[in-house]
Each structure stands twice: as structure tokens, then as C-alpha cells.
Amino acid sequence: MEVTATAIPDVKIVTPRRHGDSRGFFTETYNRRSWTEHGLDFDFAQDNLSLSATVGTVRGLHFQIPPHAQAKLVSVLHGAALDVAVDIRVGSPTFGHHVAIPLSAEDGRQLLIPIGFAHGFCTLRPDTLFAYKVTGHYAPDHDKGVLWNDPALAIDWPVTAAAAVVSERDAAQHTLAELPAFFTYERDA
């Protein structure tokens, strides 16, 4: 597997090795030993799938707050999406910045999003099947979000606000400026 830092170094692109032949391919989407060898120490607790039927479906920007905060390993199993991670750690040198990484079933790339980041995506193809591997169980009372099209975030979504397929909940989220300080940045010792 290959691990590459993004413009926000704590967010990583993980590319599992594919072994292919005329039948297709085989890949290990997660291997604890390989992760440890790359210095990644995550204890995943739950796997989730979401299917978005329509191009331009936006899900996010979501996160869970302590004590039920989650790191996420996300990938696309069918279709394609623009995946976005926003740093919401107060005091971070990249607070309010984001990375936007295209993911597709064909490229097999994954995005590792640590605790302290809001996450969302926009589908680029119909019937996009999205996989989430998370480090904590879903806790509805700790489930929060940031407005997906907050102008302060300057995310270049591949869909206009008028054309986006967005849930009522996601359309009514707070802007980053309105968000309490759920996470604070801590430098490595």
C-alpha cells in the first residue's frame, strides 16, 4: 500500500496495491500489519455504506464530537465522488482549510480523515456506493455538522447549490464561524 500526505498533512491518501489479471483484481482494502508498518495506528469499530443514486448528491460535512469522535477511512466501491475533509481543530495552522480529493471505484484510493475534521462528498456518477470505516460507533447525540457550502470554506464543489441534492439536515447546518470549539489542535510532543 502507498500512503501519501495531502495539503493538510494529517489527512492521508491511502492506495492499496491491486493484483490484477484477465479476471479482474484482488486488493486488501485494510490490513492492520501494513497500517502499523506505515505508522498508522487506528482501531476501527464500525463499517458503513451509503448509496447515492443521483449525480450531484452532497452528503456532509459531518463529524462526531468527543467522547464519540471518529476517524474515518473512506472509499468509493462503485461510481465516483469528490471527497472533502475540513480541519475544524481550533488553533491548527490549517483550521478552516480543506482538501478535496476525487475518489473512484477504478482508482481504488482511500482517504484517511483523522478526528477533528468534518467530512463530506459530492457524487460524480449515478449510483455511487461509498464506504466508511470508522474508529467509533455512531452516537446520534454527538453527531454534528458544518454547512456544506459555507462561503468561508471556499470548497469548489462540482455542483451548484441550486442543483445539489442535499438533505434538510445538511442544508441547515451551522457555518464554521458559528461552530463551538469542539476540537483543539495539539502539536505532537
**Which one is catalytic: 98, 132, 138, 142?**
132
**Which one is catalytic: 62, 68, 119, 137?**
62
Catalytic annotation present for 132: yes
Question: What is residue 49's three-state secondary structure?
Answer: strand
pLDDT tens digit string along 42-97?
Answer: 999 999 999 999 999 999 999 999 999 999 999 999 999 999 999 999 999 999 99
* Whole-number pLDDT of residue 187: 77
Q: What is the mean pLDDT of the chain?
A: 95
Q: What is the mean predicted confidence (pLDDT) over 139-156?
A: 97
* Whole-number pLDDT of residue 31: 86
| % of the chain exceeding 90 in pLDDT | 87
* Whole-number pLDDT of residue 188: 63
Query: Is the model more confident about 28 or about 172?
Result: 172
Question: Burial, 121: exposed, middle or buried (Cβ in 10 Å; 0-12, 13-18, 19+)?
Answer: buried
Domain boundaries, the chain: 2-184
DSSP 8-state symbol, 80: E
**Which phi and psi (to 5°) does residue 131 adopt?**
-115, 135
pLDDT score of 189 more than 60: no
Architecture category of domain 2-184 in CATH: Sandwich (2.60)
Catalytic annotation present for 138: no
pLDDT score of 120 more than 60: yes
Instruction: Tell which residue, 128, 123, 98, has the closest CA to residue 113.
Output: 98
Q: What is the mean predicted confidence (pLDDT) over 171-179?
A: 97
